[in-house]
Structure 1
Amino acid sequence: MTRLAVGTWGIPRLRYHHYRMTQSSNHAVRELAGRVVAGDVRALARAISLVENDAPEAQPLLSACFPHTGKALRIGITGAPGAGKSTLVDRLAHVWREAGRSVGIAAVDPTSPFTGGAILGDRIRMQGRLGDEGLYIRSMATRGSLGGLARTTADVALLMEASGKDIVLIETVGVGQDEVDIVRLADITIVVLVPGMGDDVQSIKAGIMEIADIFVINKADREGADRVEKEIRAMQSLGQSHEPRVPPIVRTIGTSGVGITELLAVMDETHQWLTKESRLEARRKEYWRLRMEEMVRQALLKEARAHGLSAEDFARHAERVVSVREDPYRLVPRLVADIFSSAPHDRGSAVQEVK
């Protein structure tokens, strides 16, 4: 009888305790999301840290912030290392702030091999902007991600949008040919080139040359700027027959601010072009199609780990595959089938309208 009493009273108490803990967590998430949407800088920093660390609160927090997004203009700035991307970002942010527009900057830096953090930290060049609540700067480490962006860059940009930023600037790490993920996230992609880096255009054309909405030749006071522009125009002439719009070329000198006004004018013109004939909407639809595919992949991997499929298990399977004792083409479908067969879920609950 004593054991029955413990079972009868203990389980409901545990469930009630779990319920109270869940309710408390949900309340904390809603409170934090509300502060982010209200423009609280500290709340935004806290929310981004939760997302970067893949905390349990990250997904419900992003969900709570999502209805407040979609109004900011996302601008991606990419190019080879040393092209002066950070200086251009600083100049653009300064001009927009003077015009009264709020700006969020997600600057993706290489990962420190010692700390795992962003090598360039808090952007020493931009320290003069600290204290301006209309400007938020976040340095992010790639943490091994390829394509020029950190794994959570898209979610960080979403939080900046939700906080009321008019413009979100995403500066990539500057990895070269494979730095093309930015075109999926940004509404407008700017490719920055600089004279004096050898075969300037040819050396990077296999990747990022095809993604530009605008080309910027920075450090245009250097010898070779004319040659870089000629090479860009020569490449553009090869594809003009099927391109709906030829990306304009702007020369700048980031350190002195020369050409920034012209660059802003070209960006406004590009934005206007995108808003016509639903081009911007089409870009964002394609972005979310690809983004949701990636989210499903991440969710499946997380579900696999929750069902006991650890990194050690993958290593064990890899050892067997290498020695041809296991067939990966049969193994992977079996692992996926095991996850779905053992994971209870309601398919209908996944389809919800955002109110």
Structure 2
Amino acid sequence: MTRFSFSLTATDGRARTGTISTPRGEIRTPAFMPVGTAATVKAMMPESVAATGADILLGNTYHLMLRPGAERVARLGGLHKFMNWQKPILTDSGGFQVMSLAGLRKLTEEGVRFSSHVDGSKHLLTPERSMEIQKLLGSDIVMAFDECPALPATDEEVAKSMRLSMRWAQRSRDAFGDRPGHALFGIQQGGVTRELREESAEKLKEIGFEGYAVGGLAVGEGQEAMFGVLDYAPGMLPQDKPRYLMGVGKPDDIVGAVERGIDMMDCVLPSRSGRTGQAWTRRGQVNIKNARHQDDPRPLDENCTCPACRNYSRAYLHHVYRAGEMISGMLLTWHNLHYYQELMAGLRAAIAEGELARFVAEFHAMRDAGDIEPL
């Protein structure tokens, strides 16, 4: 049986490209993981997601434990079978959603008691229960249970939260047990304070994980502050293990993160934007709602090979969005996910060729030029 492993094939500056091997297939890094919150990437068929070039999806522990329930998914053969996705799946721990979505919640050393945002039912999520849920779901990469403090917070609050997360990381490791072929990732916390990030990284390395995430960013601190942390945080984590930046992001966030040594990212942005009439292209963001597109027979992006660009005009995409047709979200989501995966493929190739600086300069120049001129 293939064990979980990570190998680097090339570096360019701090950027890396390589392969994560799992029993369910290989993940080419740097990798972007589309988010399948409730066992579906909204508006997409699983085979369409695979067609965009995605090697791995993210599933959401908090949402799946509430509906349809982890025990039910396990009875039905696990998450891969349930949602018809045979490639790797990473599940988050539920910590972030408990903090951001749940109703009344009480945080203690044991875990978090909260009321479901779906039906108000009461739950207790602990490191042990998070590991149990993720095992029931059958995900390939499991995330340690942590607390995400909302920023801005004082150094004292961030330090207290980080140390709680490190105690929970140890409990997650203990509860995860020995699961050949599956991986447990630890999550570095510490806000935007270098000393706290260092303390967190040292503790995680002491516990030992198959991969390491940089957590607690992309929560409203702004790109400059995020890049400031990424200038040093990835280097505090083991070189020979994958590094995952959680919840990022916009295309320029992704490029900046990859330049700073990040191997994996996830974000709801391409799918959420697709449902609200926003397309991400190499020329930046296109708002298909705008009247300028209503008579435009040209594709969103003439160099894109996705179905939206190959088969439909801006005029049509504008029309179906305005008319509230389902196909609008389907086509724009497909386009956005295709663009994101194309960006990752470009980054991987550039790193392998030692041409990352040129690729990044072209990426920014194209975006700065803006969308094609209106007709």
Determine if the TM-score, normalized by the shorter chain, exceeds 0.5. no
TM-score between both structures, scaled by the size of structure 2: 0.29
Larger radius of gyration: 1
Higher helix share: 1
TM-score between both structures, scaled by the size of structure 1: 0.30
- Where relative contact order (Cα < 8 A, 6+ residues apart) is larger, the structure is 2
